[in-house]
Structure 1
Amino acid sequence: MYRIKIDRSRCIGCLTCVTACVVSHEMESTDARNRVTIDSETQPAPIFCRHCERPECVYTCMTGAMKKNPVTGYVEYDKTQCASCYMCIMSCPYGVLKYDSIRKKEIMKCNMCVHRSEDGSAKPMCVEKCPMQAITLEEV
């Protein structure tokens, strides 16, 4: 299983990861599935889906639209099963999930860019494009 790891000490807040996310999803939306905020010490703080070991978004999803893939360990979203109750958004302790303002009845969530290759083995675009290598993909 792989996880995105962020080294905040290397992040310069350039927002390349955010732009890469939008581009990776071929402008499905004008919004990214990640973001960079500024912490209390005025340092950039990248915010990404952690694909949690015990994901609250999965536990609160009443329809099964949010699932933890037992093979990859990724938390996956199936829009066809979504009831648009947004409990997943409200339950995420990291504030990562968000409402898709273009499609209205869907949420936006990191899918680790599995769509970029047929076998799902491509690196997430945010990892690939980070100029400071503050975002890496590590096996856990």
Structure 2
Amino acid sequence: MKKIYVKEEVCIGCKLCEVYCITSHSKYKDVLKAFKFESITPTPKIVVEENGPLSFSLQCRHCDDAPCVKACITGAMQKDPLTGIVTCNTDKCVGCWTCILTCGFGAILRDEKNKVASKCDLCADTGEPACVKNCPNDALVYSEGGIKA
């Protein structure tokens, strides 16, 4: 299964991955419209962590044995048996946050506006994650085998 890998040595913490993630999950699919005209701006499903000169993006790892799926009390967290992608059905999510507590990577976020869990879905409907496609330094890699040297 393809996953997103981070090359933190070239990440500059610009947060464009967050911007394009929001845009990709917006109604308009346009940067300006997503931020200016949406009644509720979507929560990014990726977050950039920074500590001094080190910065990197953090997103769901789509674990083989996803603890968030096992912990979900409503079945909102699902792992697709064919693709391996872990998704959150926000219609089923009750905002109990057990998925957040069980995620060992801190990759599931709280969408405070909608009171549901928010996590990376690998932009499965487009074929390539928007964060990877729009990273100006190619700090994000979408591949099956990790980062090639």
TM-score normalised by length of structure 2: 0.81
1:70-119 CA-partner distances (Å, limit 9, x unpaired): 11111111122223211001111111212212212x21111111233xxx
Shift, 1:30, TM fit = 4.5
Q: How many residues align?
A: 133
**Equivalent of 2:47, from 31, 35, 39?**
35
Q: Distance in 2 between matches of 1:75 and 1:30?
A: 19
Contact 2:21 2:130 in 1 (8 A): yes
Q: Distance in 2 between matches of 1:67 and 1:137?
A: 21
Unaligned runs of at least 5 residues, structure 2 = 27-33, 35-39
Contact 1:29 1:100 in 2 (8 A): no
- SS of corresponding position for 1:81: coil
Shift, 1:4, TM fit = 0.7
**Partner in structure 2 of residue 71 of structure 1:** 82
Matched, 1:115 2:122: no
- SS of corresponding position for 2:100: helix
Percent of residue pairs bearing the same amino acid type: 34
Q: Which letter does structure 1 place at the counterpart of 2:45? A: R
- Bigger CA drift: 41-50 or 51-60? 41-50
**Partner in structure 2 of residue 129 of structure 1:** 134
Q: Distance in 2 between matches of 1:102 and 1:85?
A: 14
Q: Distance in 1 between matches of 2:113 and 2:94?
A: 17
